[in-house]
Chain A
Amino acid sequence: MITARDAGLVGCRRCARAWPAETPVCPTCGSALQSRDMGAMQRVWAWWVAGVMCFFPANLYPMLETRTLFVSQSDTIVGGAIELMHHGAYGIALVIFVASIVIPLGKFIAIAYLALRVRGDKPPAGHGAHKLYHLVEYIGRWSMIDVFVVAILASLVHLGSVASVQPGPASLAFALSVIFTMLSAQSFDSRLIWDRTDVQKGQAA
């Protein structure tokens, strides 16, 4: 396998056309051509840090504030999942737990792993790294399911003083966390994975 860089070419990331290496701007679509984005890793880490920072309040603050006639209840994500589990709704508790805790955490770990792997001297996972990257990018949008549920509930359950549901401060933090994670994943220049592979190959050769 040969990379475009190895071939003296540079591929446009927008229209996917390959141009000679020194071509500054893609004649087809007009976007800037860059063989490797050297600042990408900084952005990845920056978004990643922001995402992680938002993840803490997202789990510490209540996600949902439910007020019925006399009782006002506010639940965090984990607390809600545990409560659902206490009520016997294991399935829903599992869905919430996976969608809100496992997946975001997995994304953080995956991105961090990829970023470290690209930079470090350890041998890459090769094709597996690419698959991991695509998985992270694909699954990222589904993490918003929590926020989606909260938004629907808050707009549906609005019975004045009898019962009302309002999003807690965690919902905003959670949404930000998901957005930052997605941006982090997008900022990742997946071509760097190849470079490491090359280095590995070269060293092997």
Chain B
Amino acid sequence: MTQTPPNVRVEPARRSLWERASVVWLVPLMALLIALGVAWQTWSDRGPLITITFDEAQGVHARETELRYRDVTVGVVEDVGFSSDLQSVAVDIRLNKDIAPFVDDDAAFWVVSPQVTAQGVSGLDTVLSGVFIEGVWDRVPEGLIPAHRGLTDPPLLRPGQQGRVLTLRSLPGASLTEGTPVLYKGIAVGRVGKTELAPGETAAQSQIVIFSPYDQQLTTATRFWDTSGFSFSIGAGGVELDFSSIASLIAGGVAFETLASGGVPVRDNALFDVFGSESLARESLFSDNSRPGVNLTVIFEDNVSGLSIGSPVELGGVQIGEVISVSGILDPLRFRDQRVRLMVNIEIRPGQLGMGDLSASTDVMDFLDARVAEGLRARLATTSILTGGLKIELVTTDESDSALLDFSGDPFPILPSTDSDIADAAATAQGVLNRVNNLPVEELLQSAIRFLDGAAALTNDPELTAVPGEVRALLGDVRGVVGSEAVQALPAQLSALMLELQGATTDLRAVAADLQAAQAVDRLLAAVDATSAAATAVTDSVTGVPELIASLNTVAQSAADLPLTALVDQATSVVSAADGLLRAPGTQALPDQLGAALQDLQGVLADLRGVTTDLNDTQAVERLLAAVDAASVAATAVTDSVTGVPELIASLNGVAQSAADLPLTALVEQATGVVDAAEQLLRNSGTQELPGQLASALDEVRQVLADLRAGGTVDSLNATLGSARDAAAAIETAAQSLPDISARLNRVLSQATETLEGFEAGSELNRSARGALSEIERAARAVESLAKALERRPNSIILGR
């Protein structure tokens, strides 16, 4: 037996549950927590379930088909089932939680599936990925609406898109195709929605959308027309093929244009018509034929032909409707006879009455009723004289039979009628022709023939034939008178007269030449030359004898005492006197007397001539010259006495003494006297009278001229004027020699200046001599200025100014 320890019952100490728990339990615990956490998060993130019912749910699968908003998945289809009545498919969609509040009342859902149309391919991505449900809603969260009705087609204007939805109604000739573009100036700016038959009408209508900003173009003046297909026309302008776009060629399209300004903006869902062509649309703008008119019946007493369906109904010249039916009416009960009357049904369009689009037909009736009470009546009138067509005119007459619109008329209210205004063109034309026919043409022709016969007889009368011969004889007589010698001699006489005038003018010219020949100027020049020689001699004598200042002083003293100033003054006064003479009233009067430049010139010339002659006669110049000569001799004597004998101072002293004793004063006084005499001469009455005498002489000349003018010829007068011009030229020549005089005087003065400069500066003699010379210079300047004045204005001698 082996010794084994007693079989002890091992009882492990009872430990607490916490102590016995294994750490490993943490693992499933954590897994559980994670699982719970994931589950809770999944549940809490789960969005709400919405149910959308569709008519059909082609391609929609549970847990696959997505709900997209702006092409972003915002939900998944969880279940596809049916509504309780199996009318529609109910699609349960699990929405994303954050998008749910936006899915409110305005949410719209539709199934997007691939579509291939003439406008293009859409929903291409759904070909591979399967269809999806597109949803749109606005951006305002207004709380989740769990049940929605799905759309069969996408909405025309999705929330968030700007545009305007309109309703179009197709007129005959126009078609509306779903999905076709709406074109504006060739741009697709919208599309046509689902097309359906308008309720209660025979036209198709559809909703269209026009996207912003093109919806701004829409006004009540907007017109739509069908651009589908193409138009092909052959006309005078050639073959024309027109279609707007390939898409519209295949599938059609609707174009619109706002054809006139002034329309008011349209509201949403406004109703427009689609016209068959653009031209129809344009026409419609001015004649709204689309709206039903107001029908009336007019019964005319006359039963005339010419009125037909479509004939216009006019009010004040404006067509407001047309005839829709013409028939006869026989109503014995109403008219109490058996006549068949003309019953016309007319349609009046309110639009052309200008009553606006919104006026109801009752408004039109009220309007017409009021007008009928005022006297509005219907009458038949002629449309065209040539065709004889008739129209119905609504005119206001003076009839006051108080007729009213007869609303009891069947089928339409009856508009009262009045007398017709039918111009029977055929009758009128026939009347005109009858008048023409009745004209007395035959008698008229007879009278004409008789008249022509009488005229022929008159023409053939011998007396009348002789008249031209007599006229010719008369003309011959006249020619004889004209050719007579007396008449022929007239020009020669005139010519002689002119020659005489010319001779007179030549005389005048000779006078001027005489004036030139007087040589007064030359003599004056000689005198000046002599003075110059004397001055030279003085210069010679004083050079080299400065020591004889004392005696020369004396001479200078006496020279200074010479009244040269007075002489010059007197000379100046002489000139002044001459000037005064020229300014004398008699002289001044000459131009007036002559009345013309010629007379003035001649008068002055004669005057001058007389003066010159006087001067010559009185020999004043000669005396002056003699005086100057004497001075010159004296100067020469001084020269002689001083030249060559510088050494003989004593003698020279004596000479100087004698020179001092020279009666220069007397000389000057003598010269003064001469000048005075000249002045006296000028001032004497004889001289003064000269102008008067000349004036009288000129009067005679004028008389001559007047005579000449009386019978003279123009040529002679011209020659006279030429002579006068020559005389003026001669005077000018004479005047031109005056500068020479002044030049020589200048020279003399220069020499005198030299002479005086030879003297000692500061000496009394020098000053005196210089003063004297200044005086002479001033005198010379006066003469020079006179000469210049004459040179500048030679006519001043003539004019005295």
Contacts and interface: CB of A to CB of B under 8 A. Distances in A.
Are A and B bound to each other? yes
Interface string A173-195: 00010001001000100000000
B4 A50 contact: no
Contacts of A96: none
A47 interface: yes
B729 interface: no
A88 interface: no
A54 B12 CA distance: 35
A180 B27 contact: yes
23 contacts: A8-B4, A8-B5, A38-B12, A39-B20, A42-B22, A42-B24, A43-B22, A43-B24, A46-B22, A46-B25, A47-B27, A49-B28, A50-B27, A50-B28, A53-B28, A53-B31, A53-B32, A53-B35, A54-B31, A70-B129, A71-B128, A71-B129, A187-B24
Given A43-B22, A47-B24, A54-B31, 8 more contacts: A42-B25, A46-B22, A46-B25, A46-B27, A46-B28, A69-B128, A71-B129, A187-B24
B21 interface: yes
A38 B20 CA distance: 9
Interface string B668-702: 00000000000000000000000000000000000
Interface string B100-128: 00000000000000000000000000001
Interface string B7-37: 0000010000000111011011001100100
Nearest to B127: A70
Interface of B: 4-5, 12, 20-22, 24-25, 27-28, 31-32, 35, 128-129
B123 to A, nearest CB: 14
Closest 4 CB pairs of A and B: A50-B28, A46-B24, A49-B28, A42-B22
A39 B22 CA distance: 7
A57 interface: yes
B20 A50 contact: no
Contacts of B27: 46-47, 50, 180
A108 to B, nearest CB: 13
Nearest to B24: A46
Contacts of A8: 4-5
Nearest to B10: A35
A42 B18 CA distance: 12
A176 B28 CA distance: 11
Contacts of B31: 50, 53-54, 176
Contacts of A49: 28
Contacts of B22: 39, 42-43, 46
Contacts of A57: 35
What interface size band does chain A fall in?
Answer: 10 to 19
Contacts of B5: 8
Contacts of A50: 27-28, 31
A153 to B, nearest CB: 23
A176 B24 CA distance: 14
Nearest to B26: A46
Contacts of A39: 20, 22
B4 A42 contact: no
Interface in A159-205: 176, 180, 183, 187
Contacts of A70: 128-129
Interface string A18-44: 000000000000000000001100110
Interface in A56-84: 57, 69-71
Contacts of A46: 22, 24-25, 27-28
Contacts of B12: 38
A70 B21 CA distance: 53
Nearest to A41: B22
Contacts of A69: 128
A42 B35 contact: no
Nearest to A52: B28
B128 A42 contact: no
Nearest to A39: B22
B126 to A, nearest CB: 11
A49 B31 CA distance: 9
A42 B23 CA distance: 9
A46 B21 CA distance: 10
Contacts of A38: 12
A196 B608 CA distance: 191
Interface in A123-171: none
Contacts of B28: 46-47, 49-50, 53
Contacts of B21: 42
Nearest to B27: A50
Contacts of B129: 70-71
B34 to A, nearest CB: 9
Nearest to B21: A42
A183 to B, nearest CB: 8
A69 B129 CA distance: 10
Nearest to B4: A8
User: Taking each of A39, A46, A187, which has the highest tally of chain B beta carbons within 10 Å of its own beta carbon?
Assistant: A46
B76 to A, nearest CB: 13
Contacts of B4: 8
A66 to B, nearest CB: 15
Nearest to A177: B31
A88 B631 CA distance: 174
A10 B311 CA distance: 132
A54 B22 CA distance: 20
Contacts of A54: 31
A8 B3 CA distance: 12
A164 B27 CA distance: 33
Nearest to B38: A57
Interface string A116-127: 000000000000
A187 B24 CA distance: 10
B36 to A, nearest CB: 11
A15 B199 CA distance: 99
A53 B30 CA distance: 10
B32 A42 contact: no
Contacts of B20: 39, 42
A187 B31 CA distance: 19
A145 to B, nearest CB: 23
B24 to A, nearest CB: 4
A47 B25 CA distance: 7
A87 B681 CA distance: 168
A46 B32 CA distance: 12
B516 to A, nearest CB: 132
Contacts of B24: 42-43, 46-47, 183, 187
A176 B4 CA distance: 48
A28 B128 CA distance: 70
A180 B25 CA distance: 12
